[in-house]
Structure 1
Amino acid sequence: MRCSPVLLTLSIVLAATAAASVYAQPLAGDPSGVAPPPTADPFPASRVVPIADSAGIGSTVTALAQCGVGYLWIGTPSGLARYDGVAARIYRRSESLVDDRITALFVDSQNVLWVGTASGLLRFDPESDAFSGGLDGFTVTAIAEDSRGALWIGTTDSGVIAYQPESGYAVRIGYDPNAPRSILSDSVTAIETDRRGWVWVGTRSRGITRLSASAAFARRVSEDDVFHIRQSASQPGIRSDRITELLVDTAGRLWVGTANRGYGPWPPDDAAESGGWVDTGGRSVSAFLVDAHGDVLAASGERIDRVLAGEPGRVARSHGHPTVTALLIDRSGTVWIGSETAGVGRLVPPLPGVQTVLAGSGGAWGSDSPTVWSFAEERDATIVVATDRHGLFRFDPDAGTTAAVGALAETPIYGVSVDGDGTLWLARGEHGAVAVDRDGRVQTQLVQTIVGPGLPAEAVFSVAAVDGLVVLGTTSGVILYDRDSARYRFAAAAGADGFVVTTLARSDRRVWVGTDSGSVGLIDLSGESGLDDRFAVGWYDVSDLRVDRIVQPVWSIAERADASLLLAARDGGVIAFERPGRDAAAGDHVSAVRVGGDPPAYGVVDTVDGYWVLTPNDLRFYRYPSGRTEPDEREGERRAAPALRLTRADGLPEGVFAAGALFAASDGSIYVGGTRGAARIDPAVLSGSQWAIDALVPPLAISQIEVDGGNVSAVVAALDLVAPEQTRVEVLLDGYDDQWVAAASGARVTYQDLPAGAYRLHARAVSRNGVVGPAQLVVEFESPRRRRTAAIVGLVVFWTLVTTVAIQIGLTRPADSRRT
């Protein structure tokens, strides 16, 4: 049940370390570190990342706003959604909304959320988690606030309502054909205010009226208090009287959006071509906003333009998105887009340090995207990229350019290795293996033949070359090829049980072999001469290691500086184990620890500072706590959280990541491949970017508090709208918990059967690196059972006192007072 004020004394206060109100969080760039600074440029090569359908928001959005707490509010034709970065709380007519049809949202200077509906105006009360009536009887189209705190409400057919929330005083300003100082129409589509005290009213078909806010409120309007702006060819006017949007930018300039003639500034800019107006091709302007740099974002149809500050008419960049209905920039600088058909999404600019190596679908590829399977590094630090349908490519990290190699444009290539003399060895699946020079000219072909000394395998999917000795990972086992003698030898045959080589990893003159059965082999090529004595083979059955899950197949292997191995397995995540020394028996192992989390791992590479893990959904970096450590659980590797996490939204290739397509170059760069191209990650740039400042902690909110008997519950959310997985929530109940308890952000925290007593429920947000947020929220409450107990005890004490007094009176009464 919802808590009763009789049973619950509730106060939400900030701890002594925080001076601000719960509902007034610091803005972007505040030194408290609550939110990161705005992005430098929200548009270059941006993509839109939608809110998941599981949030239940729906596909049609009518309005967007962010309240002082930090929630994202989303208006739809069927209710109002409050989004915390993980889930949405949906408010409908059955829960104090007078109408499910949300038409406008506005947060005023006091951080009050105002909701415009098809039946009137409402305000949200965060304490009661409900809406109360402000004004009704009309459909709200727009809401603005003047410098005195008065609201100006546009309606579909009732003109403008000027409303003072504190006093409840309201004035209707409508169209009067006999009064030249009235607004031009009762059908209002847009309202904007400026710091000079003007109210700008846009109408559906009769242009714009500028009103003096103070005069209109006082109903004393003179000729100087009203000014009309209409479409005009002979004087400074606007291109169309069909107004859809208005905006006052940071310089105080008015921007006008129309239904059929584009948008532009008023007065027109004489220095700009066409007065600074932008033609939208007949598309109606549906949303305006100003970003942190003063640039104007204008949405029309399926296009969002960015016009540089101070340069009207110059569209710096456009972005496509289905039928935009609303735009919002939140306090972190993120641009949110509401759509008529695609729900809500955020514009994600390219992350500093993430670079496209090979583009996915679109452009020259059409729908036939290259799938990247493997990488190798040449002696001049260029990167060779192997694809399955488009051959071989070479990427120059200095120039940032990618070019096809030779005549291999149509050749499927699944693995690539660079030999000591610069020869490129390529694994080509059922086409065997081939050696080519830097220009792609074929030098040696290894293919299966019916007769003669051909390749003794049906298909080759991985390759590693070490000074003329070539290790081939095939469907028949591990095969060695000596280029000088042109001889083959099985280093390890598949045998009766059979196995397929899934990966080869070269480390100096050693080649590690991973298989689909979970065993790992070592091909040691440190011998001096001849194919027969130049290698030694040892096998370790990783599938039998003492870990929580079967480790198979092994997709990737990395050897660490301390000689331990990191294995990426589909079914086992990342396993670290210290391999035996040269004198140990095959199959022995010292220790095995699961690290890097539990999800399936497609690839792993080791660096000086830590290791990178490719999962089906993201790329993660796990930093070593203090230099190199053995893979021992005591060092915390097993429990470590990733220091960095990148997703496709950050610029990684779209589609499905390819197993094993993770590579670490000598300059520290990391390469990732998948079904739609490849990307390069520069950790040095990432570490200096705002994305890596993981000490930033988002605002925190406690809502939906309920007390029933000795049970109490509340929803605690860290309002990170962009990357909620980077923050965890912790709670602590005084007198009950002896330490902070982790909770899922946005989930309900419940305590049951609490003993009688007074309690304080603390909540805090903690970054993934353990940095505690600058403010904690505290809920104070008393167990209702204690109140009932106290009442009973009070009654007992009262009657005891009364009885005692009565007895005392009886004992001290004079004897002659008794009746005889």
Structure 2
Amino acid sequence: MITMRCRVTILLLSLLIFYQNGPAQALKSDTFSVFTYGQEQGLSQLNALAMDFDSLGYLWIGTENGLNRFNGYSMKTYMAGDKVGDLIDDHIRAMYYAKDTLWLATDSHSLVAYLPKKNKFINFLDQLDFNLHPYTKYTNLLYPIDNTYLLLGTNGNCLLFDRHTKKFTIIPLPANAKNDFITSCSQLNEDQLLIGTNNHGLLLLDIAKRSIQTRSAYKLLTNATINSIYPYSTDLYLIATENRLYWLNSKTQSISLALKDLHLPEITSIQPWETQDGQPAVFLSAINHGYILNQQKQVKKIVFQNLQKENLSAEVKKILKDPQGGFWLGTNGRGVFYYHPRYKKFTPLRIKTPDAPRQDFISIFNFLRVGNRLWMATEFGFASYNLQTQLYKFYPSSALEYTLAKDANGTIWGGGFGQGLVRYDPEKDGFIPVIIPIEDKDVIQVTPIDKDFIWVHTWSNGIFAFNVHTQAVRKLTLNKNTLVRSRTSFKDHLGNIWIGSDDGIYKIKGDSIQHLHNLSNERVFDITEDPSGNIWVGTAKGLNRISPHTDSTISYTKASGLPNDFIYGVLAEDNGNIWCSTNYGISRYNPATNRFRNYTETDGLQNNEFNGKAAYKDDQGNLYFGGMNGFNFFDPRTIYTNKQVGKTVIEDIQVFGKSIAQNLPYLKALILSHDQNVISFEYTALNYLWANKNLYQFMLEGFDKDWRNVTDFRSTTYTNLDPGNYTFKVRGSNNDGVWGAATSLKVIIKGPWYKSLWFKVLLAATLLIIILGVFMYKSYRQKLVNKKLLTMVEDRTSALQKSNQELNESLALSERQKENITFLMRELNHRVKNNLQIITSLIDIQDLSIANPKAKSKLKLLQSRIFTVSRIHDILTNTEEKEEIRIDQFLQQLASEIIAFSGKPIALTASLSPVKYPVEKLTYLGLILNELITNSIKHAFGQTAQPEISIHLTRQADKLQFIYKDNGTGFKVATNEDSNEKMGVNLVKFLAKELNGILDFSHSCLAEISLTFANQTKNNEK
């Protein structure tokens, strides 16, 4: 009987348990690919228990051994130290950032605050009496209540901290829970909070009353371990215990089981989440498991994978969403995970069929979409993919299939290496070989022309026109040449056919064939046209744009922003953007901004390497790119663009390679000395999604005229900067090339002290004082000198007056003496003249008494000479003490008077240059003239009817030339017998020597004699 009753009891209990729990549901799962950050990335410890963002955008991570600041590239770690301002405890259990302060709940030193702008930690140990309340220093929880209070959960107590007064209020747990500790809390209303404990279930904190109480409504959770409390909706709270999840209805104060149909492991933490469509959800964390609960109370299991596709097991302790839509997950023992629902922009597709020769790395070369069926040419045959059912079908062959095309009749044609031309038969659902008389079976392109013809391009035999009705074949030549390896063709909107080969590109317009030679490379792999009519050509070395009007070409290479120069495929969006596949990912070119945006395998591409001809655009605008490991297709209009851009901060400045000890992210100005002129700047953009794709631009105003080129480097150096005011500006972009605002830092390089303003002012003032002092001193000295001079002047004036009187007396005496001398000179001249006259008269008397002709001649000659001396004396007497007189006037006057004295009717002709000559030499010149005239009168005019004498005087540089002529018989050279004449000649020679002159008798036979003598005048006048 007892046994039966026991069996019945066991059966009833089993049914009850089954009824309560129900059968375990099969949970759907989702895989999150995450970035992982651990000690290899600089994280100080792997238990990441707390996280928050500051106002700049830095991510702060608290671990059990260090506080970490992350910028997307590296960690900066803060460890406990003994100095003032150091972190007192580096075991961080919780954190909260608000109003420029990072609040930290530490394991054994209660509350700590970090002030980023001051780079300083402060603690509040002096506000707590640890002797009276020893367990208040052990903090497990930090919860902001409002703008005033922080709630700290400790062992046996709650601490209410006033952020304004910096004071604590200790609120003890109920007596029966005094040895318990607080695990979690959540605000119930303005004055009340739900408190979760480790051993005493759920409690209620009344802020106004400063008390913690139990409630009968929470009796179901008495003695339960509360792991987490989360406000699921307005009135509904989700509570995780060591065994189950519960709902708490705040209106009815009722507690019920949550998710009772699911056998979930112990949920250790409940964190906020958001679905990809922006709906609120929660993340349920368990040891090595994670789940997402949405608003419809549906649960999905989450599997974490790293970027290498390795599964990761972790217990998530903290989740934080960043402004870019990414989620940071702090784990227990696995560091930090970063998940972004849009971290991959593309989804790779791979041919998955049982009969496929491989399940991955099947190369795809060409696409063709017909309805909802996507045809592909692969290395193992043709394949189709139903875009609705997402099912593949494989059409294997032994050839590498290379091309697909649909003609104007709707027929699908294909070809490949060794395959020849094939045609798809819809009834047989297979590809049928087409027998045509072409030796080369390597068909690399099919170009539909019209309803009658297609062109079949072969690898080595050229291009053939194929009649689809009669199957007649005609070989085509381009400019009389066979074009081989013409792997691609394109028909533009004007009907022109473009053909690309290893010999460049050809444009066929009716009967006109044009070969374009100006591409960046002759090997052409793809051709397309943009909405503006530009032709785009992908080559083995660069992308080319051909103008439809001029056929001019612009080339783009890796230097222009492409990830690789080998362009396999080129497609144009309807908005004009150009997509191209390369040997290193795909790239989108925006002609409006002239920038490339590059994508790689990390963005979800099938592989970084793509294939030739594997680029296709369907009628709906979808783009297809194939490569070594499958293909991607997408609508370019739906590609996610990250438009959120974090701040760019300057993290470090080095002077001559040494960092300056300043809190640079918050610094507004930097002042350096003139010898600190080699400066390095390090900066970072706080964009965490693919941070390695962030780009930067910078400039130093005052040195650079414009922004430097875009770069992915996060540092730059300026050298030999002159003293002055500069502004360093830097801006960063996010992973999608969206640029943020620039960050500025003023840099002031002071000049040397001797160039400073104060020194210049001081120097100017000093110079002014010195000048003023010198002026005043000189003025004082001048006054003394003036006084002394005045005395001297007075004395001198007196002396001068006396001297003047004496001089006047002396002058009067001199005037009287001068008058006497003048009188004496007049008297002397008169007496000399009288004496000469007496001598002349005596000669006349003597001449009367002498009968000898020779004697009479000598007396006449002597009389003439005395007359000449007399006339010279008269002339010089009239010069009134002049040093020089006009020699021309002297000669003419003297010659006239000598001729008149002779009493002969002789004409005188004079051509004399106006020249002044010293008076002391005139006597010699006058005597020479006398001798010459006397000689002419005596000897020249015996039979001459009209005797004439001419005299000439000319200036020749520093010489004077005197020429004497008559019209007589000429001069005779005196002999020894003719003593008078000989004496006259000697006298002339002597006088000429005294004048430093030269006599020239060479023309004496012509009655012409010249005398050249020195021009000794001081100032000749015309």
SS in 1 for 2:619: coil
Give the secondary structure class of the aligned counterpart of 1:282. Answer: coil
The answer to whether residue 425 in structure 2 is matched with residue 437 in structure 1 is: yes
Indicate whether 1:335 and 2:327 are aligned. Answer: yes
Change (3 A) 1:607 1:655: closer
The Cα of 1:605 is off from its aligned counterpart by 1.0
Per-residue displacement from partner, 1:51-89 (whole Å, max 9, x unpaired)?
68999256946143222222233445665543444x234
Amino acid at match of 2:69: R
- Report the equivalent of 1:469: 454
1:144 deviation in Å?
1.5
- In structure 2, the partner of 1:185 is 180
Bigger helix share:
2
Cross-structure match for 1:636? none
* Separation in 2, partners of 1:769, 1:103: 35
CA distance in 2, matches of 1:410, 1:511: 31
Are the aligned partners of 2:405 and 2:414 in contact in 1 as well (CA < 8 Å)?
yes
- Mapped to 2, the partners of 1:93 and 1:280 lie a distance apart of 42
**CA separation of 1:271/1:243 partners in 2, compared to 1, >3 Å: closer, same or farther?**
closer
Mapping for residues 357-506 of structure 1, pairs under 5 Å: 358=349, 368-369=359-360, 371=362, 373-378=364-369, 380=371, 382-388=373-379, 391-396=382-387, 400-405=388-393, 413-429=401-417, 434-438=422-426, 441-445=429-433, 456-457=440-441, 463-466=446-449, 468-472=453-457, 474=459, 476=460, 478=462, 480=464, 482=466, 484-485=470-471
Q: 2:33 aligns with which of 40, 48, 55?
A: 48
* C-alpha distance in structure 2 between counterparts of 1:566 and 1:734, whole Å: 40
SS for the counterpart of 1:255 is strand
1:94-117 CA deviation, whole Å, 9 max, x = no partner? 898748966445333325333455
**Distance across 2 between alignment mates of 1:713 and 1:413:** 56
The one-letter amino acid paired with 2:647 is P
Opposite residue 669 of structure 1, the aligned amino acid is N
User: Match for residue 299 of structure 1?
Assistant: 285
- For the residues of structure 1 that align with 2:252 and 2:409, how far apart are their CA atoms? 64
Q: CA distance change for structure 1 residues 561 and 730 in 2, over 3 Å: closer, same or farther?
A: closer
Cα distance in 2 for partners of 1:426, 1:491 equals: 22
Query: Aligned in 2, Cα 1:433/1:603: closer, same or farther, shift over 3 Å?
Result: same
Judged with a 3 Å threshold, the aligned counterparts in structure 2 of structure 1 residues 257 and 456 are, in CA distance, closer, same or farther, namely same
Do 2:246 and 2:255's aligned partners in 1 also have CA atoms closer than 8 Å? no
Residue 485 of structure 1 deviates from its aligned partner by 3.9
1: CA distance between counterparts of 2:88 and 2:419?
66
Q: Distance in 1 between matches of 2:445 and 2:253?
A: 65
Deviation at 1:558, TM superposition (A): 2.4
**What's the counterpart of residue 145 of structure 2?**
146
Matched with 2:538 is 568
1:35-434 mapped onto 2 (5 Å cutoff): 47-50=32-35, 56-57=41-42, 60=46, 62=48, 63-75=50-62, 79-85=66-72, 87-93=73-79, 98=87, 103-104=92-93, 106-116=95-105, 120=109, 122-129=112-119, 131-133=121-123, 141-154=140-153, 160-170=158-168, 179-180=175-176, 182=177, 185-186=180-181, 188-216=182-210, 221=211, 225-227=212-214, 236-237=220-221, 241-249=224-232, 251=234, 253-261=236-244, 265=248, 274-276=257-259, 279=262, 281-291=264-274, 293-301=279-287, 303-309=289-295, 311=296, 313-315=297-299, 318=302, 320=304, 322=312, 323-325=314-316, 326-339=318-331, 340-341=333-334, 343-349=336-342, 358=349, 368-369=359-360, 371=362, 373-378=364-369, 380=371, 382-388=373-379, 391-396=382-387, 400-405=388-393, 413-429=401-417, 434=422
Distance in 2 separating the partners of 1:624 and 1:289: 42
Q: Distance in 2 between matches of 1:429 and 1:721?
A: 47
User: Are 2:595 and 1:641 aligned?
Assistant: yes
Give, as a single letter, the amino acid of the residue that structure 1 aligns with 2:298: R
Shift of 1:386: 3.8
1:716–1:746 Cα contact (<8 Å) kept: no
The 8 Å contact of residues 379 and 400 in structure 2, kept in 1 or not, is answered as yes
Alpha-carbon shift at residue 460 of structure 1 (Å) = 5.6
Please say if residues 642 and 738 of structure 2, whose CA atoms lie closer than 8 Å, have aligned partners that are also in contact.
no
Helix, strand or coil: the match of 1:296?
strand
Cα 1:344–1:299, aligned 2, differ >3 Å: closer, same or farther?
Answer: same
Answer whether contact 1:405 1:440 (CA < 8 A) is retained: no
Change over 3 Å in CA distance of 1:784–1:211 after alignment to 2: farther
TM-score using structure 1 length: 0.67
Larger RCO, structures 1/2 (Cα 8 Å, 6+ apart):
1
Q: Is 1:520 aligned to 2:510, yes or no? A: no
Instruction: Quote how far apart the aligned CAs of 1:174 are.
Output: 6.3
Contact 1:262 1:279 in 2 (8 A): no
Counterpart check, 1:704 vs 2:703: no
Query: How many residues align structurally?
Result: 692
Q: Relative to structure 1, is the Cα distance of residues 394 and 160 closer, same or farther in structure 2, using a 3 angstrom cutoff? A: same
Question: Any idea what SS the aligned residue of 1:739 has?
Answer: coil
The superposition leaves residues 193-238 of structure 1 with CA deviations (integer Å, 9 ceiling, x where unpaired) of 455233444344543433234544xxxx3xxx323699x9xx5438
5+ residue gaps, structure 2: 1-27, 127-135, 306-311, 654-659, 661-669, 781-1022
Q: Which of 727, 737, 742 is the aligned partner of 2:704? A: 737
CA RMSD of aligned residues (A): 5.4
SS at match of 1:211: strand
Distance 2:147 2:416 in 1: 73
CA shift for structure 1 position 288: 0.7
Q: Does structure 1 conserve the Cα–Cα contact (< 8 Å) formed by 2:220 and 2:255?
A: no
The CA deviation string for residues 556-608 of structure 1, in whole angstroms up to 9 with x for no partner, is 332457775423345x3423345999xxxxxxx84342266232144221244
Paired letter, 2:616: F
Distance 1:652 1:288, change over 3 A: same
Cα 1:151–1:677, aligned 2, differ >3 Å: closer, same or farther? farther
User: Which structure is larger by alpha-carbon Rg, 1 or 2?
Assistant: 2
Q: Is the 8 A contact 2:79 2:90 kept in 1?
A: no
Cα-to-partner distance string for 1:286-340 (whole Å, 9 max, x where unaligned): 451154644323333555433333x5x4336756453252322223433333455
Of residues 428-437 and 329-338 in structure 1, the stretch that sits farther from structure 2 once superposed is 428-437
Change in Cα spacing, 1:770 to 1:388, as seen in structure 2 (3 Å) is: closer
Return the alpha-carbon distance in structure 1 between the equivalents of residues 326 and 76 of structure 2.
23
- Decide whether aligned partners of structure 1 residues 124 and 652 sit closer, same or farther in structure 2, where only a CA change above 3 A counts: farther
Would the aligned equivalents of 2:246 and 2:258 in 1 still touch at CA under 8 Å? no
The percentage of aligned residue pairs carrying the same residue is 17
Residue 402 of structure 1 aligns to a residue in which SS?
Answer: coil
Contact 1:144–1:152 (CA under 8 A) maintained in structure 2: yes
State the match for 2:555 in structure 1. 593
Cα shift readout 1:707-750 (whole Å, capped 9, x = no counterpart):
65345554444433336688755445443333344565782354
> Residue 117 of structure 2 aligns to a residue in which SS?
coil
Deviation of 1:134 after TM superposition, in Å, equals 5.8
- What letter matches 1:127 in structure 2? K
One-letter code aligned to 2:594: A
The DSSP-based 3-state class of the residue aligned with 1:662 is strand
Secondary structure of 2:390's partner?
Answer: strand
1:605 and 2:605 equivalent? no
Query: Which residue of structure 1 lines up, in the alignment, with residue 954 of structure 2?
Result: none
- Which whole-Å CA distance do the structure 2 matches of 1:118 and 1:552 have between them? 70
Match of 1:37 in 2: none
Structure 2: distance between partners of 1:409 and 1:97: 72
1:456 partner amino acid: D
Cα shift readout 1:598-648 (whole Å, capped 9, x = no counterpart): 3214422124432122346654433343xxxxxxxxxxxxx7114x66666
- Tell me the distance in 1 between the aligned counterparts of 2:600 and 2:732: 23
Amino acid of the residue matched to residue 146 of structure 2?
S
Q: In 2, Cα distance between the equivalents of 1:89 and 1:80? A: 10
- Alpha-carbon distance between aligned partners in 1 of 2:258 and 2:477, rounded to the nearest angstrom: 76
Gaps of 5+ in 1: 1-42, 528-535, 582-588, 626-638, 815-820
Q: Structure 1 CA distance, aligned partners of 2:378 and 2:733?
A: 42
- For residues 269 and 573 of structure 1, the distance between their equivalents in structure 2, rounded to whole angstroms, comes to 71
CA contact (8 A) 2:725 2:749 kept: yes
